[in-house]
Amino acid sequence: GTAVMLSDISIFREIAGACGLFFDCQDQTSIRAITEYYLQHPSELYKFGQRGKEYVGKFSWHETAKQTV
């Protein structure tokens, strides 16, 4: 898994949950703050990556297709 930075919009919050950090796309300092946070806390990169791997394991193409059709 890979730690991610996402624009703070509802669909990304719905998709990513607690697997990444969110920034205000209208505020450059917000993006910089998250970048600096990851650089200053490298262990968080690993934690967010692990959360992401666990989170995506809850989804499957088969179940998505069943719910869509």
- Distance (Å) of CA 11 to CA 2, 42, 54: 19, 27, 19
pTM: 0.74
The per-residue pLDDT for 27 is: 95
Three-state secondary-structure class, residue 23? strand
**41 SS3 class:** coil
DSSP 21: E
Could you tell me if 19 and 48 are in contact, meaning their C-beta atoms sit under 8 angstroms apart? Answer: yes
Q: What is the pLDDT of residues 4-15, one digit of tens each?
A: 899 999 999 988
| Strands annotated E in the chain | 4-7, 20-23
pLDDT tens profile 7-51? 999 999 988 888 889 999 999 999 999 999 999 999 988 998 899
Model confidence at 55, in pLDDT bands (50, 70, 90)? confident
The pLDDT value given to residue 37: 92
